[in-house]
Structure 1
């Protein structure tokens, strides 16, 4: 509709103008009707009621005229007539006569004004009859009274008192007859007053009703008009809000409908373009998320300065490797090998992601991951890394059963297992590489140590080895066993290394016995009490047959018995190979 294709400013101005027009129409109609009622009220106040009052005063003047006449007669009937008093009474008589004429004339003037006014509804025929009756009554009164009055004066002057009394009675009869006519005219005039009053009241009630109806209609029309126009504004706003919530929820596949051509329509079109760009960016992010950990992608987007400047942070590094991979891969086709490795990486990457770790890269059959700020809190990296390692180790039995099915063989040519090394320390984080290609990674001694610990598992026959710093950070949240004091290749100072056996309170009775006797044997081994150490390690093997660290240290004891260590031996073992 053209109405909804206007700008918001024009819509709002249109609503305001429409309401103003409705208000003006209502006001003009009220003014017209009020003016009509005012005309009727003016006629009632200034014509009907004054006319009726004039007729009532004419009655009074008639009585005053009669009283004055009687007083005149009384002044003449005295033995010594009082001419001065008679003249005064005569003057009163004549004044009353003139007032009767004036009152009736004023009443007729008001009545004729009513008849002549075409603006007001009135019973002009009835008013004309009243006018005629007034004229007739006054004329007849004038004629009869003048004759009787002249006759009365002659009789009084002639001292004909009996005849004067008869003439006076005749004058009283004429007066009564006049008053009766005037009373009848007044009654009819009062009816006209009542009729005019009813008309005024009716017109006023009609004006109120019509004004109320028009006001309600104006309000309804104005509300409907405002609702229609405002809905044209608010509906696209609601659609835009709903679209925004969809985007906030991460759903970019629902563009909003552009239903107007105003500013909101332009905003909706821009919003759709933004959603399309977000959808495109999300596809890019999902695509790169297969090659770069999503946390790194998001972190680089939110804080690009981290990648540019680089930072030193304390992080926990994990290296994970599949044992027996080389022998297993020799007899596989390339497609089968890729299939096995993809499944292996999928299974082992799950616990890392579930515990908020960042997968840095896949190196052959190895996985490098790390935990630390800004991706997680500073006190969580080591614990989360160990929890992830325990879950990864728990996946090994199921993985060993799945691999033959993936390869289409009955049994694996060589057993596969897992080796994990974890170290905590200060590393450099940032984008490392050349001008042609960069990689957001971590570098430092902790990275090297984690890689060495992963390889050391092969020496001790363990799955998960962690550094001293990682063990200190974990505390009692995991069940640990100190394995040895070791100086890996590239390090001069030895440090304790620990095996992660389970989560807290997760050891079985044989495992608890193993840890206890192994700790006794390790203490005797470092004190060069090799016989005592051998007995303790054998007891540990009785608790858990095949325990790799116990067998490894028993082998060292045999070597030391043949070639005893130097006098300054500190009980640590040094690996010269990486």
Structure 2
């Protein structure tokens, strides 16, 4: 118990010293920071606006001269009354605006004169305020002369107006000189205030650094004192932590004291026990869902809440063709062995391309790509690469199937269909109060499932939505397949076939020409084009059969879109 009080008193003393130093540092820094903030507020809210107001006044002054010349020019060349009226109103408006900007600048200066107590600042700002007052008087006289000249022009006294214009030009030049000088003085005042602000910030930084250095020195002395008394048990804890860091959870440190270090050692052992439990959970559930989701749910329990999140994701559906016939010939044990091997092979490309397997639905696989698991710009490309790799895995599965079935002849043909779509989905913990899964919902998921199913009617293997096609980079062999209206969608979706890694430009160009004729309703040309391609191209053969039916029925409302009614 005595040791417990000793360690506690040491830590309390060090904490007290550090808190005192921190309070002193905070008070000194706050005092200097308050002055800096006040000066910064003056610069942002008064110096800069005053400078901007004078800039605007200078611009408005030049616009007055331009508008006045336009008025005189229109009057001399017989401009219509409506145009002259608009120009006269424009002159009045600009004159008022220029005066208003100078009045606003004077308002800022008056505030600064009331707030500042430094003689250099007050003297400079007071001098500038006096000149602005004089400038306003000049503008007032100038406006009177402008109105006189406008009246002369409207009365038809063009000779008198020309003399008046020359007089106004001289006065305008004088006003502009005053404005430029006052503008420059305001900039000098702004720069002076900014330089002063930098000096104040530098001094505040130096004071804070000095106090921080003192606190660090005292903290190091206190740490050295504690190290001599605590080094041995702390080293044991450090070694245990290193073992845990390297993946070893077989750590059980002896508790040899009843002080805080003993309690810490005991807590460390309990923490290692909890890590063992989490590791067992991760290993167990990692077989039922993607390990990245398991890690996320363990490290971030908020992901299991009811709130969903909307993201752009790429969804893939893969289904085995011929599974029903295969399942009817197998015992339950053999069927599970075959389907597990098939799903293992189909899952490897998804994981290898950073995809997340959402669920297995019988022999079907649903997976997705997108943030935070992969970069948003690469999600479609990775999904397509996974699909192509799944075709390679299918060949491997076909080679293994005779051994899995125990057959050498009459091995049922097996193929797959894949649909990929990209778009908005809702991501979240979905299910009942008793059972949930971290999954996706939305039209994009439904579209991917529809595209997978649509492959059977086209003879294709991998079908992509248009949004996926736009995100896919080079290195993919793609061709436009159709404008397809799937079940549940009002508008047709342009779909594409992904058929390999090596493009076939000539074949794709010929197919595109045939497809264009098909969409125009040019049935003879489309039939001949698809007939040329049908040998060895299942998709072209499908279109050939479709064109023959359309040519016989001769639809009158043909749009080139095809409606797919089945789910």
TM-score bin, normalised by smaller chain: 0.5 to 0.7
Q: Quick one: structure 1 residues 550 and 246, their matched pair in 2 at CA, closer, same or farther if it must change by over 3 Å?
A: farther
C-alpha contact 1:317 1:370 (8 A) present in aligned 2? yes
Deviations 1:138-188 (A, max 9, x none): xxxxxxxxxxxxxxxxxxxxxxxxxxxxxxxxxxxxxxxxxxxxxxxxxxx
Give the match for residue 378 of structure 2: 380
Give 3-state SS (helix, strand or coil) of 1:409's partner.
Answer: coil
- The question of 1:299 aligning with 2:296 is answered yes
Give the match for residue 495 of structure 2: 497
List runs of 5+ in structure 1 lacking aligned partners: 14-226
| Deviation of the 1:238 alpha carbon | 2.9
Give the match for residue 560 of structure 1: 550
Give the match for residue 20 of structure 2: none
Cα distance in structure 1, aligned partners of 2:252 and 2:478: 54
Cα distance in structure 2, aligned partners of 1:11 and 1:356: 51
| Deviation of the 1:549 alpha carbon | 0.9
Q: 1:402 aligns with which of 378, 400, 403?
A: 400
List runs of 5+ in structure 2 lacking aligned partners: 11-223
TM, length-normalised to structure 2: 0.58
Give the match for residue 444 of structure 1: 442
Aligned-pair RMSD on alpha carbons? 2.7
Give 3-state SS (helix, strand or coil) of 2:512's partner.
Answer: helix
Cα distance in structure 1, aligned partners of 2:458 and 2:285: 38
Q: Quick one: structure 1 residues 269 and 573, their matched pair in 2 at CA, closer, same or farther if it must change by over 3 Å?
A: same
Give 3-state SS (helix, strand or coil) of 2:474's partner.
Answer: coil
Q: Quick one: structure 1 residues 310 and 349, their matched pair in 2 at CA, closer, same or farther if it must change by over 3 Å?
A: same
Give the match for residue 248 of structure 1: 245
Q: Quick one: structure 1 residues 239 and 408, their matched pair in 2 at CA, closer, same or farther if it must change by over 3 Å?
A: farther
C-alpha contact 2:527 2:544 (8 A) present in aligned 1? yes
Q: Quick one: structure 1 residues 559 and 301, their matched pair in 2 at CA, closer, same or farther if it must change by over 3 Å?
A: same
Q: 1:283 aligns with which of 280, 288, 293?
A: 280
Give 3-state SS (helix, strand or coil) of 2:376's partner.
Answer: coil
C-alpha contact 2:521 2:558 (8 A) present in aligned 1? no
| Deviation of the 1:561 alpha carbon | 1.9
| Deviation of the 1:476 alpha carbon | 3.0
Give the match for residue 261 of structure 2: 264
| Deviation of the 1:486 alpha carbon | 0.5
| Deviation of the 1:445 alpha carbon | 0.6
Q: 1:574 aligns with which of 560, 563, 566?
A: 563
Q: 2:505 aligns with which of 512, 523, 546?
A: 512
Q: Quick one: structure 1 residues 12 and 234, their matched pair in 2 at CA, closer, same or farther if it must change by over 3 Å?
A: farther
Cα distance in structure 2, aligned partners of 1:385 and 1:521: 29
Q: How does 1:227-238 map to 2 (within 5 A)?
A: 233-238=230-235
Cα distance in structure 1, aligned partners of 2:478 and 2:375: 23
Give the match for residue 416 of structure 2: 418
Give 3-state SS (helix, strand or coil) of 2:310's partner.
Answer: strand
Cα distance in structure 1, aligned partners of 2:448 and 2:482: 16
| Deviation of the 1:260 alpha carbon | 5.3
Q: Quick one: structure 1 residues 278 and 411, their matched pair in 2 at CA, closer, same or farther if it must change by over 3 Å?
A: farther
Q: Quick one: structure 1 residues 439 and 11, their matched pair in 2 at CA, closer, same or farther if it must change by over 3 Å?
A: closer
Give the match for residue 60 of structure 1: none
Give 3-state SS (helix, strand or coil) of 2:507's partner.
Answer: helix
| Deviation of the 1:259 alpha carbon | 5.5
Q: Quick one: structure 1 residues 9 and 425, their matched pair in 2 at CA, closer, same or farther if it must change by over 3 Å?
A: same
Q: Quick one: structure 1 residues 239 and 499, their matched pair in 2 at CA, closer, same or farther if it must change by over 3 Å?
A: farther
TM, length-normalised to structure 1: 0.57
C-alpha contact 1:432 1:439 (8 A) present in aligned 2? yes
Cα distance in structure 2, aligned partners of 1:573 and 1:552: 13
Q: How does 1:335-414 map to 2 (within 5 A)?
A: 335-411=333-409, 413-414=411-412
| Deviation of the 1:266 alpha carbon | 3.0
| Deviation of the 1:235 alpha carbon | 4.0
Q: 2:429 aligns with which of 428, 431, 453?
A: 431
| Deviation of the 1:572 alpha carbon | 1.3
Q: Quick one: structure 1 residues 261 and 468, their matched pair in 2 at CA, closer, same or farther if it must change by over 3 Å?
A: same
| Deviation of the 1:388 alpha carbon | 1.1
Deviations 1:29-57 (A, max 9, x none): xxxxxxxxxxxxxxxxxxxxxxxxxxxxx
- Name the count of aligned residue pairs: 352
- Which of the pair has more CA radius of gyration? 1
| Deviation of the 1:12 alpha carbon | 12
Deviations 1:281-316 (A, max 9, x none): 111122112222222222233443344211111111
C-alpha contact 1:513 1:540 (8 A) present in aligned 2? no
Cα distance in structure 2, aligned partners of 1:294 and 1:435: 23
